[in-house]
Structure 1
Amino acid sequence: MYRAIRIHDYGGPEVLKLETLPSPVPGRGEILIRQEAIGVNFIDIYFRTGLYKLPTLPAIPGMEGAGTVLAVGEDVADLVPGDRVAYPTALGGYAECRTIAADRVVPLPPDISSEVAAACMLRGLTVHMLLREVHAVQPGETILVHAAAGGVGLLMCQWARYLGVRMIGVVSTEEKGELARQNGASDILVGYDNLAARVRKLTDGAMVPVVYDSIGKDTFVASLDCLAPRGLMVSYGNASGEITGISVGMLATRGSLYLTRPGLTTYIAQRPALLAGAAELFGLIAQGVLSVRIGQRFALADAAEAQRALEARTTVGSTILVP
């Protein structure tokens, strides 16, 4: 038997129920993991509320975790019990143990703890996707990043600094702004009022070639207004709600802009891409380029509290559950 958080109906944090379930058995191509740390991300909230639909109900939320292999199923050749692994995008994470397809995990280097892995796999690979693939940033380039003191945001600060990029970070408080600055943000903007005017001033009227926006509804138009002609709007989250009612004319009148909504699952669908991204991420952590900040730890039973804190935007860095 093992404990897990399950959702029986979509709704608020109160729908997250701690339950005891029969121990799972790995099937063909699967492994069984004893989880040592579990990542908490906004996508978990999207699944809980029904913004993103779960395949079936009841369901165990959570997309990210790390731990030790307990057993392997048939046709698993490269993993054995005792191996340490982590994964970034596989539903079923809020649990003491879980089964998962073997090709969706990556081996953990000895110097990467399970807590660090659970705090950075989804976020770190998201940053890799954003800065290296969605828009391959160049040294000297200026970018605008929302939620710069969040789990993704702090890694964006550090990675952008490493790549020689000037990053303008948008945050909600002065305290978060100082944290983002300490992690590598070149400039800080607190709050979202008159955002385009403040970006115009910082860039001497040039604006920015790319905006990375994880906030969604509340900042979408303001983000578009910060872009230079033919700039790229990267919308990769819905923290304030889903963006609706878009007119493509909005892109034309603001300078023939581009808009994309990338999803990490697509970018790491092929195992070589997953392994390559993880190798670069772990390598930069080992070099000291990236420091993973775990701002909050919650017990598995307190998953609802963890999501409440994330929704209220009172968290800094990454949030994890510790079974």
Structure 2
Amino acid sequence: MPKRIQFNSYGGPEVLCYCDCEPPALGPRDVLVRNHAIGLNYIDTYYRGGLYPVPALPSGLGTEGAGVVEAVGAEVSRFKAGDRVAYASGPLGAYAEYHALPESAPVRIPDTVSFEQAAAVMLKGLTVQYLLRQTYPLRGGETILFHAAAGGVGLIACQWAKTLGVKLIGTAGNAEKAALARAHGAWEVVDMSREDFVARVHELTGGEKCPVVYDSVGRDTWERSLDCVAPRGLMVSFGNASGSVTGVDLGILSRKGSLYVTRPTLAHYANTPERLAEMSAELFALIGAGLLRVEINQRFPLAEAAAAHTALQSRRTTGSTVLVP
């Protein structure tokens, strides 16, 4: 029987079970993908832990993968069996040998992009696309702050910002991670183990601060990140690695410079198949041109998904991690 990862209750990595499952049923507008590689993302831990409730338990996990279309529903017109595809959204359940998705979820991947690259880059790369190209459309010459610059999203952002002519100030947890972010195009990196990021941003910008700050850390950095945003600038809070930002006092935005704040998600940017295809094409073009390297620094068998979650949450990973069925 096919295998998948599921969880029967919320909790730590130990709740993940490598189980037999029935082959996914296909609706008339669904495609069945045989996964060759599966992406690991921090958001997966939010679902597993209950921060983001799932529709019902037991539940599958994961939203990102790449593989070959095995079968299609009777009304599917965009794909056929044998197509190479990748996806970053859809119903939970990507941590599996086979995954059924609505026809609107996958995109074709060019021959220049491997299954592992696609699985490692879809969610992270599309996140960077909407952050840098849509949420705050960077045009070149800006100096920005991007937290967790040595993570999977961060390393892509470092490279993409450099191609745009943007000076990216990154933060990283130690000297080794700071060096990794620099090697991927960060203009400067703040080593959070020994430096104050607010003071360094003020120093690097001559007190001007940044027109936009990207923060995926959440609770631990939220308020101090606001001190790095220039007057009338934008604070982009797009993750909760240290916990959710709660109890926000809107008056603080006024006191710190009439700031703007947004909490974006990919689903509201890649909200049509056409838009998803456009965003993916830009991402794949950068990879094909050699301007964006996909750093897969960890690989785990699908059966060891719990170990992968432990490594991710203990901050022992850099770049991207993939699960291999």
**Could you state the TM-score of these two structures normalised by the residue count of structure 2?**
0.98
Over aligned residue pairs, what C-alpha RMSD do you find? 0.9
What corresponds to 1:37 in structure 2? 37
Residue 46 of structure 1 aligns to which amino acid in structure 2? Y
Q: Distance in 2 between matches of 1:257 and 1:196?
A: 16
Per-residue deviation at 1:177? 0.7
Which of 212, 221, 232 aligns to 1:219? It is 221
Task: State the Cα deviation string for residues 250-280 of structure 1 (Å, max 9, x = none).
Answer: 1111001111000001111111110000000
Structure 2: gaps of 5 or more residues: none
Deviation of 1:103 after TM superposition, in Å, equals: 1.3
Task: Give the letter aligned to residue 45 of structure 2.
Answer: I
Superposition pairs of residues 238-249 of structure 1, within 5 angstroms: 238-249=240-251
> C-alpha separation between the residues in 1 aligned to 2:40 and 2:265?
17
Displacement after TM superposition at 1:48 (Å): 0.5
Aligned to 2:59: 59
Q: CA deviation at 1:195?
A: 2.1
What amino acid maps onto 1:22 in structure 2?
A: E
> How is 1:102-113 mapped onto 2 (pairs within 5 angstroms)?
102-113=103-114
CA distance in 1, matches of 2:226, 2:297: 31
Question: How many Å separate the matches in 2 of 1:112 and 1:194?
Answer: 39
Q: What's the CA shift for 1:138?
A: 2.1
Separation (CA, whole Å) in 1 of partners of 2:211 and 2:106: 34
Identity %: 52
Distance 2:8 2:299 in 1: 25
Residue 89 of structure 1: CA displacement? 1.4
2-11 or 192-201, which deviates more: 192-201
Deviations 1:215-270 (A, max 9, x none): 01111011001111111110000001111111001111100111100000111111
| 2:202 match | 200
Matches of 2:142 and 2:93, distance apart in 1 = 39
Find the aligned partners of 2:24 and 2:138 in 1 and give their Cα distance: 43
Q: Does 1:295 align with 2:297?
A: yes
* Equivalent position amino acid for 2:142 in 1: E
The residue number in structure 1 matching 2:2 is: 2
Partner residue in 2 for 1:82: 82
Cα displacement (A) at 1:98: 1.1
Which runs of 5 or more residues in structure 1 are unaligned? none
CA distance in 1, matches of 2:283, 2:216: 21
Q: Match for residue 157 of structure 1?
A: 158
Aligned residue number for residue 177 of structure 1: 178
- 1:261 aligned to 250, 260, 263, which one? 263
- Report how far residue 196 of structure 1 moved: 1.4
Distance in 1 (alpha carbons) for counterparts of 2:138 and 2:165: 9
1:24 equivalenced with 2:21 (yes/no): no
| SS, match of residue 138 in structure 2 | coil
| TM-score, normalising length: structure 1 | 0.98
- 1:23 Cα shift? 1.2
Residue matched to 1:167: 168
Does residue 135 of structure 1 match 2:136?
yes
What amino acid sits opposite 1:44 in the alignment?
A: D
Shift of 1:322: 0.4
Give the CA deviation at 1:74: 1.2
Distance 1:271 1:68 in 2: 18
Offset at residue 7 of structure 1 (A): 1.1
Q: Secondary structure at the match of 2:58?
A: coil
Q: Which amino acid aligns with 1:41?
A: N
Contact 2:60 2:94 in 1 (8 A): yes
The whole-number CA distance in structure 2 between the counterparts of 1:235 and 1:15 is: 29
SS in 2 for 1:103: coil
Residue in 2 that maps onto 1:309: 311
8 A contact 2:104–2:272 mirrored in 1: no
State the number of aligned residues: 323
Structure 2: how far apart are the matches of 1:53 and 1:26? 24
